[in-house]
Amino acid sequence: MSSLNNCIKFALDIKDKNIVFKSFFYKMVQMKKHKIYEAELIQPACPCCGALDLLHNGHLITNIHYLTANASHPVIIRLAKQRVKCRDCNRWSMAQSELVNKYCSISNASKLKVLSALTEDSSMTSIARENNVSVNTVQRVLGSCSHHFLDSYEYLPAHLAFDEFKGVDRQLHFICLNGDNHQVVQILRTRYKKTLLKYFGRFSPQARANVKTVTMDLDFYYQDIVRACFPNAQIVIARFHMIQMLTRSFNSLRVQVMKTFDKRSRQYQLLK
């Protein structure tokens, strides 16, 4: 059993020690062949007081949608979560895992895959079909981006970076990064000036005053946002955009000089 458990965990890339896989089989569900893994989620200690003296009282069976390389063969983990009562504090609890959030049947790994697919030029319907979830699930994952990164409006990193990226239907979305560790601070569905001013205006004056630098491209309205929201911040133009601007100017000058020579001359050929 231990060998089977380790093999299934290795195949599914699951590292939770409290999950024990017992068997797997195929089953036809709604004219589609599903791969079912049966597992048990163990509660080793009381989450309230940490005591090990627990009274087990059955399981809660949850069917969890997991990642699959073949969309025609969905993978389901039939997880039996232990229900326990602590003999020390007399509190009831149920085993929880990082595999899936509480009261949810979609694995966190599947949500991350859906979120990654949302950055590409794909429709929500195709993303839902490829990941064996509903379109509503894809919309909920996208909607969670607006509050997933910062839960408090009392803090902002000292160094921020603004940019935009092309998402679904080729629309441009706004992204804000921490300039020190490059972690995502926030993703907004639009990059309009009104939306950005409204979002950053929610932060306290102390949090906005803590921002020292904001790195951005050459878009002029980003500079207006920095001046309006971050009184102590210095504007830093990204080196990539500076080099790109210099390269374009150099090429423009090169073409102008090149056109002054005869097309059959050596100088024309070298500049071309």
Indicate whether 147 pLDDT > 80: no
**How does the average pLDDT of the chain come out, rounded?**
86
* pLDDT at residue 123, rounded to an integer: 82
Residues 185 and 259 in one domain: no
Over residues 136-143, the mean pLDDT reads 82
* pLDDT at residue 126, rounded to an integer: 87
Instruction: Yes or no: say if 41 and 18 are a contact pair by the CB < 8 Å rule.
Output: yes
Q: Where does residue 75 rank: exposed (0-12), middle (13-18), buried (19+ CB within 10 A)?
A: buried
Residues 155 and 224 in one domain: yes
Residues 92 and 120 in one domain: no
Indicate whether 241 pLDDT > 80: no
pLDDT band at residue 171, thresholds of 50, 70 and 90? confident
- Which residue's entry shows tokens 């071309």? 272
Residues 143 and 53 in one domain: no
27-50 pLDDT tens trace: 888 788 889 999 999 988 888 888
Indicate whether 261 pLDDT > 80: yes
* pLDDT at residue 80, rounded to an integer: 92
* pLDDT at residue 229, rounded to an integer: 92
Indicate whether 256 pLDDT > 70: yes
Query: How many angstroms from the chain centroid is the CA of residue 238?
Result: 24
Task: List the end-to-end C-alpha distance of the chain, in Å, as a whole number.
Answer: 70
Among candidate residues 97, 118, 148, the one where a domain is terminated: 148
Instruction: Give me the helix-helix angle, 108-118 and 124-131, nearest 10°.
Output: 150
Domain that includes residue 116, residue range: 106-148
Residues 255 and 219 in one domain: no
Two structure tokens written together for 14: 């699951």
Residues 87 and 29 in one domain: yes
Indicate whether 169 pLDDT > 90: no
pLDDT band at residue 145, thresholds of 50, 70 and 90? low
Q: Which helix (H) or strand (E) holds 239?
A: helix 239-258
- Length of the chain equals 272
**What is the pTM for the complete model shown?**
0.55
Residues 70 and 115 in one domain: no
State how beta strands 75-86 and 184-188 pair: unpaired
Residues 135 and 172 in one domain: no
Coil vs helix vs strand at 104: coil
The answer to which of 105-109, 179-183, 261-265 has the lowest mean pLDDT is: 179-183
Residues 25 and 93 in one domain: yes
* pLDDT at residue 186, rounded to an integer: 85
Two structure tokens written together for 115: 């979120």
* pLDDT at residue 153, rounded to an integer: 82
* pLDDT at residue 214, rounded to an integer: 92
Indicate whether 78 pLDDT > 90: yes
Among candidate residues 105, 120, 139, the one where a domain is terminated: 105
| Single-letter amino acid, residue 8 | I
Bridge partners (DSSP) listed for residue 33: 28
Bridge partners (DSSP) listed for residue 26: 35
Beta strands in the chain (DSSP E): 19-29, 32-41, 54-66, 75-86, 92-94, 159-166, 172-178, 184-188, 213-216, 234-237
Residues 220 and 232 in one domain: yes
Q: Where does residue 236 rank: exposed (0-12), middle (13-18), buried (19+ CB within 10 A)?
A: middle
Over residues 150-166, the mean pLDDT reads 82
CA–CA dist 199, 193 (Å, integer): 10
Residues 131 and 166 in one domain: no
Neighbours of 203 (CB within 10 A): 20
CA–CA dist 134, 3 (Å, integer): 35
Residues 125 and 197 in one domain: no
CATH number of the domain residue 229 falls in? 3.30.420.10
Among candidate residues 119, 148, 177, the one where a domain is terminated: 148
Name the most confidently modeled range: 76-80, 130-134, 262-266. Answer: 76-80
Greatest Cα pair distance in the chain: 95
Count of structural domains, the chain: 4
Two structure tokens written together for 251: 């090429």
- Which residue's entry shows tokens 């002029």? 220
Indicate whether 148 pLDDT > 60: no
